[in-house]
């Protein structure tokens, strides 16, 4: 349990660790390339460390050098057979993206995970990878999965049944090993880090976005700068917006167009948020974000925006608790398949505020604002639930407790120190 006292004011600037999604991908792409790559500002979260360890088991050499991460990659289909199962911990990104790489290797590999990850769906990657010629055994389409060697990985045309950057990236990584060209059709846009970092050709038609990938796109050694994580910044943005007479400058935050749904929605709610010092001449654009205290009004969340703010929905809900009008979340059933069933865990915690919440299969709604002075919340072992209700606790007059708060190490182990550095 950790007690968060009431925050009177936020003022300062804050530099956050690198974006978790980009960090995973920069490590994997560097490990695939033959030769030495360099990564600056890699995330220090446990999920990314898990990817690091798995890639080392596959023969990549990864080490720190003067504050930067160097990766000596293995080259095309040249990873080493791991001596033991690859443990993906709590990281769905690790498990799903590595599966795409391992589907094309000439050895058998096994991916396991912790209790939470072992309950999350893997059918969404097993089906397309099987269509490409991979031979994958699973525990009823859940971890552990055994990926058997395959000599005939082939290109496919695949329409994504759900908006998922992890599924898309898994297919892309497998497609990098095919002679022919794989076409991935994405009806609803999701995070586009993988295709941007690999500089893949894309197009659009009446069905949606098409991503093209083949052996010709296999990566070469590169230098990566990982901007700060917009998902991590989200908690500090909401804390500042809802704390009177406050401001915050967040440094070098990712400005990727597929990650701005959260900020754009907050602006529509009335949030005072400005982009400064925009850098566009990079594979991943970034900027400084200036935030000021604001009065917010709840508005409808567009269905098309859900995939690009899915990770920020828990903290957006906290903003909704202090905004005018009814908060309604729909079309977000994917939240049930995260580190926790986030629809249920959010609802459970909100009800501790004596607020009536209507829970549905794809979301929830409430129309009351926060009236209690203090409360005690559960993290449910989910880092995003823990940080969201830590922010809520700091907004309560007498603060609040979050049980199991240590799970934040998955993405941002320095959260408490960061809060101390910007608060009064």
Directed axis angle between helix 383-395 and helix 230-242, to 10°?
Answer: 20
Kindly report whether the peptide bond that precedes residue 108 is cis, defined as omega within 30 degrees of 0: no
Q: What is the rounded radius of gyration, in angstroms, for the C-alpha atoms of the chain?
A: 21
Q: Token match 């709590």: residue? A: 90
Residue 121 lies in a domain: yes
Specify whether the CB–CB gap between 158 and 174 falls below 8 A: no
What's the CA gap between 48 and 20, in Å, rounded?
7
Specify whether the CB–CB gap between 88 and 112 falls below 8 A: yes
399 and 279, same domain (yes or no):
yes
Alpha helices in 144-274 (DSSP H): 165-175, 193-197, 230-242, 261-268
* Residues spanned by the domain of 153: 20-215
Directed axis angle between helix 165-175 and helix 92-102, to 10°?
Answer: 20
What's the CA gap between 84 and 88, in Å, rounded?
12
What is the average pLDDT value for the chain, to the nearest integer?
97
298 and 400, same domain (yes or no):
yes
Specify whether the CB–CB gap between 110 and 137 falls below 8 A: no
This prediction's pTM: 0.94
Residue 167 lies in a domain: yes
307 and 346, same domain (yes or no):
yes
210 and 132, same domain (yes or no):
yes
- Which residue among 185, 215, 245 closes a domain? 215
SS3 109: strand
pLDDT of residue 151: 79
233 and 178, same domain (yes or no):
no
257 and 240, same domain (yes or no):
yes
Residue 354 lies in a domain: yes
pLDDT of residue 283: 83
233 and 181, same domain (yes or no):
no
Residue 305 lies in a domain: yes
- Which residue among 159, 188, 215 closes a domain? 215
Alpha helices in 181-312 (DSSP H): 193-197, 230-242, 261-268
Binned at pLDDT 50, 70 and 90, residue 424 comes out as confident
180 and 104, same domain (yes or no):
yes
> Which tokens sit at 58?
């596959």
Residue 186 lies in a domain: yes
What's the CA gap between 330 and 328, in Å, rounded?
7
Listed residue (237, 219, 220) closest to 228, CA to CA? 237
pLDDT of residue 51: 98
pLDDT of residue 403: 98
pLDDT of residue 152: 85
2-45 pLDDT tens trace: 999 999 999 999 999 999 999 999 999 999 999 999 999 999 99
Q: Is the pLDDT of residue 409 over 90?
A: yes
43 and 146, same domain (yes or no):
yes
Residue 406 lies in a domain: yes
Specify whether the CB–CB gap between 158 and 184 falls below 8 A: yes
The CATH number of whichever domain residue 139 belongs to comes to 3.65.10.10
Residue 222 lies in a domain: no
346-356 pLDDT tens trace: 999 999 999 99
Active-site annotation, residues: 311
- Which residue among 181, 215, 249 closes a domain? 215
307 and 336, same domain (yes or no):
yes
Listed residue (177, 45, 6) closest to 104, CA to CA? 177
**% of the chain at pLDDT higher than 70:** 100
37 and 168, same domain (yes or no):
yes
Residue 143 lies in a domain: yes
Close Cβ partners of 160 (under 8 Å, ≥ 6 residues apart)? 167, 168, 184, 185, 186, 187, 190
Task: Give the single-character DSSP code of 320.
Answer: H
57 and 169, same domain (yes or no):
yes
Mean of pLDDT values over 92-117: 97
Binned at pLDDT 50, 70 and 90, residue 150 comes out as confident
pLDDT of residue 348: 98
188-244 pLDDT tens trace: 999 999 999 999 999 999 999 999 999 999 999 999 999 999 999 999 999 999 999
Mean of pLDDT values over 264-275: 98
> Which tokens sit at 313?
């929905």
Number of domains into which the chain is organized = 2
């Amino acid at each position: 349990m950790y007690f968060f006292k009431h925050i009177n004011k936020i003022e300062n600037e804050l530099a956050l660790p690198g974006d978790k999604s980009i960090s995973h991908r920069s490590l994997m792409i560097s490990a695939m390339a033959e030769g030495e790559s360099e990564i600056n500002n890699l995330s220090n979260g446990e999920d990314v460390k898990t990817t690091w360890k798995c890639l080392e088991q596959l023969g990549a050499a990864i080490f720190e050098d003067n504050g930067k991460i160097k990766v000596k990659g293995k080259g095309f289909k040249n990873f080493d057979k791991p001596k033991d199962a690859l443990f993906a911990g709590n990281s769905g990104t690790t498990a799903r993206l590595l599966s795409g790489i391992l589907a094309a290797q000439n050895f058998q590999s096994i991916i396991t995970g912790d209790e939470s990850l072992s309950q999350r769906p893997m059918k969404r990657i097993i089906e397309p990878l099987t269509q490409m010629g991979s031979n994958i055994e699973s525990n009823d389409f859940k971890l552990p999965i055994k990926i058997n060697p395959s000599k005939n990985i082939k290109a496919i045309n695949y329409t994504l049944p759900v908006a998922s950057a992890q599924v898309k990236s898994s297919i892309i990584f497998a497609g990098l090993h095919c002679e022919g060209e794989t076409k991935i059709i994405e009806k609803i846009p999701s995070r586009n880090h993988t295709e941007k970092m690999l500089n893949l050709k894309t197009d659009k038609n009446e069905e949606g976005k098409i991503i093209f990938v083949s052996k010709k796109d296999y990566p070469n050694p590169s230098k990566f700068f990982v901007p700060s994580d917009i998902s991590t910044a989200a908690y500090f943005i909401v804390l500042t917006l809802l704390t009177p007479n406050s401001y915050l400058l967040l440094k070098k935050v990712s400005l990727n167009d597929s990650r701005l749904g959260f900020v754009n929605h907050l602006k529509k709610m009335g949030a005072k948020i400005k982009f400064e010092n925009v850098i566009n001449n990079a594979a991943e654009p970034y900027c400084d974000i200036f935030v000021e205290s604001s009065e917010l009004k709840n508005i409808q969340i567009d269905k098309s925006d859900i995939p690009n703010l899915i990770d920020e929905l828990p903290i957006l809900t906290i903003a909704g608790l202090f905004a005018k009008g009814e908060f309604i979340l729909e079309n977000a059933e994917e939240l049930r398949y995260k580190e926790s069933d986030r629809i249920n865990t959010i609802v459970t915690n909100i009800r501790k505020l004596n607020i009536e919440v209507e829970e549905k299969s794809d979301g929830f709604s409430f129309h009351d604002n926060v009236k209690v002075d203090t409360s005690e919340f559960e993290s449910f072992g989910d880092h995003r639930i823990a940080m969201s209700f830590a922010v809520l606790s700091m907004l309560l007059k007498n603060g609040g407790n979050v049980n199991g708060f240590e799970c934040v190490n998955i993405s941002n182990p320095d959260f408490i120190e960061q809060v101390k550095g910007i608060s009064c």
